């Protein structure tokens, strides 16, 4: 086997999903977009649906292949023993339109659900397949621009007040029952009933909701409903902003998206890091398959206080570490020059300016919006940038 280098330049896949911004990645990073396609997500990692390449001995090689050839050196023996793969996927995500409202299962739910669908012989690509793998999918998003999203259920009194204000006749009884119960059980029943509305009752409820929104278009929440309706007309997810916390992250702020917690990205560009999984249960703002029973079974019906949405970073000189309650990934954002040491495979992304990595005689400079892969075996190295760089590791 050839000797590993201390770090490698990466060539990353850009996904052109329809909801992606056609301008943001270009504006922030100068990555050309001659065809004017959406530049929705830049994937940095070894996921089969968009594996990065790394520059090895004068040619591009698949990162997944390089890891498979030397797992202990590339991702570290401990990570190989625990995960058997690079355990995280790191992304730049640029949303111009809302992504579906979703819940990710817990690890235990994913293991059970995956085993059940495998046993039932459901094809991996089947539209009604919920579990693509047996893994959980915790996520953390770090805002590069103002970043609008939904995360967690609102406090019940606030949610009830919003529904009473909008006062939709078709769901009056459901709101009354929620108010009567005012607990997790009542919220579960309400959420289930709302997502199950259909036919004339659903159409009538949505018409009433939108007529209220249009009459109060100067209200921020109503303006959001009007905007979402242009993207997803007739979608039951238009009620989600009344149920979920709507949050605008300022650039530099981050939040964690926990298992079993409904969330959605609405608009903005950020960095996202997640466990290596594709398990998504949808809850609206989507034309795709929705399994309401499985969704409700995987949802924790607990309110998330607004004060707990943001992830508070641990600060050191020129460093913000964003703590997460999982061991699949870590993420920190640095500014300036730093001496680092690998304990796992790392992916470094230059955010504002070029960054230069050094290790002994070796040196690598990558432009902003581009990344470098650092094998677990590298040990001590340094990074210097006139701006910020992000560090993904585990
Ligand atoms: Zn998600």
Question: CATH number of the domain that 332 lies in?
Answer: 2.60.120.10
Domain with 362, as residue range(s), is: 321-393
Residue 39 counted as domain residue: no
Both 119 and 173 in one domain: the answer is yes
* The model scores a pTM over 0.85: yes
Q: Tell me how far the alpha carbon of residue 233 lies from the centroid of ligand 1, in angstroms.
A: 22
* Average pLDDT score, the chain: 95
Whether the pLDDT of residue 1 is over 80: the answer is no
Both 176 and 298 in one domain: the answer is yes
Q: Tell me how far the alpha carbon of residue 105 lies from the centroid of ligand 1, in angstroms.
A: 10
Both 260 and 297 in one domain: the answer is yes
Residue 210 counted as domain residue: yes
Q: From the CB of residue 106, how many other CB atoms can be counted at a distance below 10 Å?
A: 18
pLDDT at 377: 97
Both 124 and 250 in one domain: the answer is yes
Q: Tell me how far the alpha carbon of residue 179 lies from the centroid of ligand 1, in angstroms.
A: 29
Return the higher-pLDDT residue of 126 and 171.
171
Out of 308, 341, 358, a domain closes at 308
| Segment holding 139, helix H or strand E | strand 139-143
Contact partners, residue 59, CB within 8 Å, separation at least 6:
none
Q: Residue 279: which pLDDT band, with cuts at 50, 70 and 90?
A: confident
Query: Of the ranges 110-114, 131-135, 188-192, 252-256, which one carries the lowest mean pLDDT score?
Result: 131-135
- Residue whose pair of structure tokens reads 């059970």 in the numeric block: 112
Residue 95 counted as domain residue: no
Q: Residue 135: which pLDDT band, with cuts at 50, 70 and 90?
A: confident
Both 355 and 255 in one domain: the answer is no
Q: Are 142 and 271 in contact (CB under 8 A)?
A: yes
- pLDDT tens digit string along 168-199? 999 999 999 999 999 999 999 999 999 999 99
Residue 2 counted as domain residue: no
Contact partners, residue 140, CB within 8 Å, separation at least 6:
254, 255, 256, 257, 272, 273, 274, 311, 322, 324, 329, 331
Residue 65 counted as domain residue: no
pLDDT at 286: 86
Total count of domains within the chain: 2
Out of 308, 334, 356, a domain closes at 308
**DSSP structure class, residue 324:** -
Whether the pLDDT of residue 36 is over 60: the answer is yes
Q: Tell me how far the alpha carbon of residue 43 lies from the centroid of ligand 1, in angstroms.
A: 15
Q: Tell me how far the alpha carbon of residue 163 lies from the centroid of ligand 1, in angstroms.
A: 25
Both 175 and 289 in one domain: the answer is yes
What CATH number corresponds to the domain at position 262?
A: 1.10.441.10
- Residue whose pair of structure tokens reads 């470094």 in the numeric block: 348
Both 266 and 193 in one domain: the answer is yes
Distance CA 175, CA 194 (A): 10
Query: Of the ranges 87-101, 119-133, 206-220, 361-375, which one carries the lowest mean pLDDT score?
Result: 119-133
pLDDT at 390: 98
Both 228 and 130 in one domain: the answer is yes
pLDDT at 290: 87
Both 281 and 329 in one domain: the answer is no
- Residue whose pair of structure tokens reads 């997500």 in the numeric block: 41
Out of 273, 308, 343, a domain closes at 308
Q: Tell me how far the alpha carbon of residue 162 lies from the centroid of ligand 1, in angstroms.
A: 25
pLDDT at 2: 61
Q: Tell me how far the alpha carbon of residue 56 lies from the centroid of ligand 1, in angstroms.
A: 33
Both 347 and 277 in one domain: the answer is no
Q: How far is CA 190 from CA 101, 184, 186, 239, in A?
A: 17, 10, 6, 12
**Mean pLDDT, rounded, for 325-343:** 97
Residue 178 counted as domain residue: yes
Residue 82 counted as domain residue: no
Q: Residue 248: which pLDDT band, with cuts at 50, 70 and 90?
A: very high
Report, as residue numbers or ranges, the catalytic residues: 282
Both 250 and 383 in one domain: the answer is no
Distance CA 203, CA 224 (A): 19
**Mean pLDDT, rounded, for 373-381:** 98
Structure tokens at 255: 């939040």
Q: What percent of the chain has pLDDT over 70?
A: 99
Both 186 and 211 in one domain: the answer is yes
Return the higher-pLDDT residue of 385 and 285.
385
Q: Tell me how far the alpha carbon of residue 236 lies from the centroid of ligand 1, in angstroms.
A: 19
Residue 228 counted as domain residue: yes
């Amino acid at each position: 086997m050839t000797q590993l280098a201390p770090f490698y330049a990466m060539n990353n896949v850009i996904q052109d999903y329809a909801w992606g911004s056609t301008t943001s990645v270009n504006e922030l990073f100068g990555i050309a977009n001659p065809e004017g396609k959406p530049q929705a997500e830049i994937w940095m990692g070894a996921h089969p649906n968009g594996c990065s390449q790394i520059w090895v001995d004068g040619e591009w090689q698949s990162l997944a292949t390089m890891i498979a050839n030397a797992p202990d050196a590339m991702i570290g023996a401990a990570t190989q023993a625990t995960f058997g793969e690079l355990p995280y996927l790191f992304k730049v995500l640029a949303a111009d339109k809302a992504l579906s409202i979703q819940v990710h299962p817990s690890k235990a739910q994913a293991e059970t659900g995956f085993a059940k669908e495998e046993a039932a012989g459901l094809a991996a690509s089947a539209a009604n397949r919920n579990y693509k793998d047996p893994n959980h999918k915790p996520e953390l998003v770090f805002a590069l621009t103002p970043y609008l999203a939904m995360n967690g259920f609102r406090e019940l009194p606030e949610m009830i007040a919003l529904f009473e204000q909008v006062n939709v006749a078709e769901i009056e009884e459901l709101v009354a029952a929620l108010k009567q119960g005012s607990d997790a059980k009542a919220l579960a029943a309400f959420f289930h009933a709302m997502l199950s509305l259909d036919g004339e009752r659903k159409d009538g409820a949505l018409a009433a909701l939108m007529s209220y929104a249009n009459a109060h278009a100067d209200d921020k929440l109503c303006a959001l409903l009007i905007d979402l309706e242009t993207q997803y007309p007739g979608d039951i997810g238009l009620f989600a902003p009344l149920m979920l916390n709507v949050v605008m992250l300022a650039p530099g702020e981050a939040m964690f998206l926990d298992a079993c917690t409904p969330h959605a990205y609405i608009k903005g560009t950020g960095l996202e890091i997640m466990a290596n999984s594709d398990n998504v249960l949808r809850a609206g703002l989507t034309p795709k398959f929705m399994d309401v029973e499985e969704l409700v079974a995987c949802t924790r019906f607990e309110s998330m206080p607004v004060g707990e949405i943001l992830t508070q970073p641990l600060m050191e000189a020129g460093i913000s570490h964003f703590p997460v309650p999982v061991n699949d990934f870590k993420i920190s954002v640095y500014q300036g020059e730093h001496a680092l040491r690998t304990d796992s495979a790392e992916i470094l992304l230059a955010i504002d300016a070029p960054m230069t990595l050094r290790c002994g005689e070796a040196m690598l400079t990558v432009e902003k919006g581009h990344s470098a892969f650092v094998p677990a075996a590298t040990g001590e190295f340094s990074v210097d940038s006139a701006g910020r760089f992000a560090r993904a590791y585990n």
